[in-house]
Amino acid sequence: MSKAAITGIHGYVPDYVLTNAELERMVDTNDEWITSRTGIKERHILKGEGMGSSHMGAKAVEGLLKKLNTKPEEIDLLICATTTPDYVFPCTANLICDMVGIRNVGSFDVQAACSGFLYALTIGSQFIETGKYKKVIIVGADKMSAIVDYTDRTTCILFGDGAGAVMLEPSEEGLGILDSIIRSDGVGQNHLFQKAGGSRYPPTHETVEKRWHYVYQDGPSVFKFAVKNMADVSAEIMERNHLAGNDVAWLVPHQANKRIIEATAHRMGIESDKVMMNIQKYGNTTAATIPLCLYDYEPQLKKGDNLILAAFGGGFTWGAAYVKWAY
Ligand SMILES: CC(C)(COP(=O)(O)OP(=O)(O)OC[C@H]1O[C@@H](n2cnc3c(N)ncnc32)[C@H](O)[C@@H]1OP(=O)(O)O)[C@@H](O)C(=O)NCCC(=O)NCCS
């Protein structure tokens, strides 16, 4: 059976940079607190009326197609992981396809909060492995600024906007996504969520007044969950693939908090210089963190490198993937 190899990657972040200094002027916080507790220095914010996650996703996909010299007509399927879809429906994947000229193929969204990209990658790889499709695009795109309360200092410092896209194609050389684990547990549903705007609490004056359309987070509970589960699942995927810390070229962790990333790497026995980290520039871009890491580190990646991708998010959701880099 073929493996699904990542054959290209492209990322996009909007121009506007929201620094810790600017946040100091908006809420009662300071650069020292944000840097020491999270590792974040700045994040990018999508400004402009009528611009949603699809705008950034389409930029990432356009760049990917150009880089790979691939025409939109060659694409068999596009999956978009997002927690901030442009609309409740139609899905953001449909909109991205329209923007870049991909027509008459399946496209759908995956909603698994910050684990969304890992989930979408796992789903997309199945279509390649079975031989059904030859070119599948996986996008992670989130405009977190649309649902972040910029009067809440405990959450507004964490998130940013961005998108990344990868191409999946068959590999007969044993390269690509060799294993993945995706998990969820609804025990986390009240620790990290948006209370209103869905079918349980549709928008009303009251929900708006109560600020229920913003991210609600119990930070310390999420922190504890993240450290344990992201490390556990990463250790599990390494063990079942007989990988020791030395065998891993790169850990590619979801970028939510520098301290969570460091704790995960420590548990896996991976040195800090083998851990992809760009949280200082982008903050937590939800489904976009992992593809943006791969994009930033692409020049340093070598064919055959063993990568462990690891994520966690609201739900709770979490997971890991073992990827042998294909180029
Ligand atoms: C949010 C998070 C950074 C907070 O860090 P923490 O060390 O847990 O801090 P606490 O929430 O315990 O707050 C400590 C103090 O700092 C204060 N504080 C919170 N945000 C602050 C800010 N931006 N600036 C200054 N002080 C702040 C709190 O009010 C609290 O004050 P108190 O002791 O007087 O009550 C951390 O819990 C975290 O990263 N959690 C996981 C979040 C995450 O990964 N989310 C995405 C999941 S995909």
Cα–Cα nearest to 166, from 2, 11, 324: 11
**Hey, whose CA ends up nearest to atom 15 of ligand 1?**
154
The strand ranges marked E within 144-224 are 161-171, 176-184, 192-194, 215-217
Report d(CA 39, CA 278) in Å as an integer: 9
- How many angstroms separate the alpha carbon of residue 106 from the centre of ligand 1? 41
Query: What integer pLDDT is reported at residue 144 of this predicted model?
Result: 98
Total residues found in the chain within this entry: 327
Catalytic residue among 254, 257, 278, 293: 254
Residues with CB under 6 A from ligand 1: 29, 33-34, 37-38, 114, 153-154, 157, 192, 217, 219-220, 222-223, 226, 256-257, 260, 284, 313
Contact by Cβ (8 Å): 192, 216: yes
User: Mind listing the pLDDT tens digit of every residue in the chain (327 residues)?
Assistant: 899 999 999 999 999 999 999 999 999 999 999 999 999 999 999 999 999 999 999 999 999 999 999 999 999 999 999 999 999 999 999 999 999 999 999 999 999 999 999 999 999 999 999 999 999 999 999 999 999 999 999 999 999 999 999 999 999 999 999 999 999 999 999 999 999 999 999 999 999 999 999 999 999 999 999 999 999 999 999 999 999 999 999 999 999 999 999 999 998 889 999 999 999 999 999 999 999 999 999 999 999 999 999 999 999 999 999 999 999
* Run of H or E residues at 63: helix 53-67
Report the 10 Å Cβ neighbour count for 22. Answer: 11
The residue whose two tokens read 């000229």 is: 101
* Active-site residue, selected from the candidate residues 191, 257, 284, 293: 284
CB 234 within 8 A of CB 264: yes
What's residue 1's pLDDT?
Answer: 84
d(CA 126, CA 115): 17
- Single out the residue of 295, 306, 302, 303 nearest to residue 270, CA to CA: 306
State how far the Cα of 318 lies from the Cα of 321, in Å rounded to an integer. 11
Q: Which residues of 266-278 are buried (b: 16+ CB within 10 A; e: fewer)?
A: eebebeeebbbbb
pLDDT at residue 267 in the model: 87
Q: In 157-283, which ranges are continuous DSSP H helix?
A: 205-209, 219-240, 258-268, 279-282
Q: Where are the alpha helices (DSSP H) in 76-218?
A: 92-100, 116-129, 153-156, 205-209
Q: Which region holds residue 311: left if phi is over 0, alpha if psi is between -120 and 50, else beta?
A: beta
Q: Are 97 and 107 in contact (CB under 8 A)?
A: yes
Cα(99)–Cα(89) distance, rounded to whole angstroms?
A: 16
How many CA atoms are closer than 13 Å to the CA of 183, on its beta-carbon side? 21
pTM higher than 0.75, yes or no?
A: yes
Using the mean position of ligand 1's atoms as its centre, give its distance from the Cα of residue 220 in Å: 7
